[in-house]
Structure 1
Amino acid sequence: MAKTKVVVVDDSALVRSILTEIINRQPDMECIGAASDPLMAREMIRNLNPDVITLDVEMPKMDGLDFLSRLMRLRPMPVVMVSTLTERGADVTLKALELGAIDFVAKPKIGVADGIRLLAQDITDKIRIAAKAHIRRAAAPAPSAAAGAPVAAKPVTMASVGRLSTEKIIFIGASTGGTEATKDVLINLPADCPAVVITQHMPPGFTKSYAARLDGLCKIRVKEAQDGERILPGHGYIAPGGFHLSVERSGANYIARVQDGEPVNRHKPSVEVLFNSAARVVGPNALGIMLTGMGADGARAMKVMKDAGSYNYVQDEASCVVFGMPREAIAAGAADEVLPLSEIASHLIDRLRKTAGGSLNRV
Structure 2
Amino acid sequence: MSIKVMIVDDSAVMREAMQQMLAPHADIEVIGAALDPLLALQKMERNWPDVILLDVEMPRMDGITFLRQIMTTRPTPVVICSTLTEKGAEITLQALSAGAVEVITKPTMGLRDFLRDHARELVNAIRTASHARVRPASAPVTPRTDTRLTADALLAAPATGLRNQRTTEKIVVLGTSTGGTQALENVLCELPVNAPGIAIVQHMPERFTRNFATRLDSLCAIEVREACDGDRLLPGLALIAPGGRHMLVRRSGAQYQVEVKDGPLVSRHRPSVDVLFRSAAQHAGRNALGVIMTGMGDDGARGLKEMHEAGARTCAQDEDSCVVFGMPKEAIRLGGVDQVVALGEIPGVIMSWR
User: TM-score over 0.5 for the alignment?
Assistant: yes
Kindly tell me: are residues 275 and 153 of structure 1, through their superposed partners in 2, closer, same or farther at Cα, counting changes over 3 Å?
farther
Match of 1:83 in 2: 82
Q: How far off its partner does 1:287 sit?
A: 0.3
- Which residue is equivalent to 2:158? none
Aligned to 2:107: 108
Whether contact under 8 Å (1:215, 1:221) holds in the other structure is yes
Once residues 208 and 351 of structure 1 are traced to their aligned partners in structure 2, the CA distance between those partners, rounded to angstroms, is 27
C-alpha deviation, 1:252, in angstroms: 4.1
TM-score normalised by structure 2 residue count: 0.90
Unaligned 5+ runs, structure 2? 145-166
SS of the residue corresponding to residue 260 of structure 2 reads strand
1:153–1:184 contact (8 Å) kept in structure 2: no
Which structure 1 segments of 5+ residues have no match?
Answer: 142-150, 156-164, 353-363
**Match of 2:263, SS?**
coil
Q: Name the counterpart of 1:214.
A: 216
Distance 1:202 1:350 in 2: 29
The alignment covers a number of residue pairs equal to 332
Secondary structure, aligned partner of 1:223: strand
CA contact (8 A) 1:283 1:310 kept: yes
Q: Given the superposition, is the C-alpha separation of residues 327 and 55 from structure 1 closer, same or farther in structure 2, using an over 3 Å criterion?
A: same
Q: Identify the residue that residue 116 of structure 2 maps to in structure 1.
A: 117
SS at match of 1:80: strand
Match of 2:175 among 173, 176, 182: 173
CA displacement at 1:247 relative to structure 2? 1.3
Could you list the per-position Cα deviations for residues 251-296 of structure 1 after superposition, in whole angstroms to 9, with x for gaps in the alignment? 4432211111111111111101100000001110000111100000
Residues of 2 paired with 1:259 and 1:22: CA distance?
Answer: 35
- Structure 1 residue 288 corresponds to structure 2 residue 290: yes
CA 1:34 to 1:313, structure 2 compared with 1: closer, same or farther past 3 Å?
same
Q: Which runs of 4+ in 1 moved over 4 A?
A: none
The answer to whether 1:152 aligns with 2:141 is: yes
Aligned-partner residue type, residue 48 of structure 1: N
Matched-pair contact (CA < 8 Å) for 1:166–1:233: no
Identity score, percent: 50
Q: Is the 8 A contact 2:245 2:263 kept in 1?
A: yes
RMSD: 1.7
- What is the identity, as a one-letter code, of the residue corresponding to 1:318? D
SS, match of residue 171 in structure 1: strand
Q: 1:289 to 1:90 in 2, by over 3 A?
A: same
Question: How far apart in 2 are the matches of 1:111 and 1:259?
Answer: 31
Amino acid at match of 1:237: L
What is the alpha-carbon distance in structure 2 between the residues aligned to residue 51 and residue 325 of structure 1?
Answer: 23
What amino acid is the match of 1:319? S
The change in CA–CA distance for 1:345 and 1:323 in structure 2 (over 3 A counts) is same
User: Residue 254 of structure 1: SS of its match in structure 2?
Assistant: strand
3-state SS of paired residue (1:317) = coil
Aligned residue number for residue 360 of structure 1: none
User: For the residues of structure 1 that align with 2:17 and 2:253, how far apart are their CA atoms?
Assistant: 54
Partner Cα separation in structure 2 for residue 113 and residue 233 of structure 1:
48
Tell me by how many angstroms 1:115 deviates. Answer: 2.2
Partner of 2:247: 245
Counterpart contact for 2:9–2:36, Cα < 8 Å: yes
Task: Name the residue aligned to 1:307.
Answer: 309
Counterpart residue type for residue 299 of structure 1: A
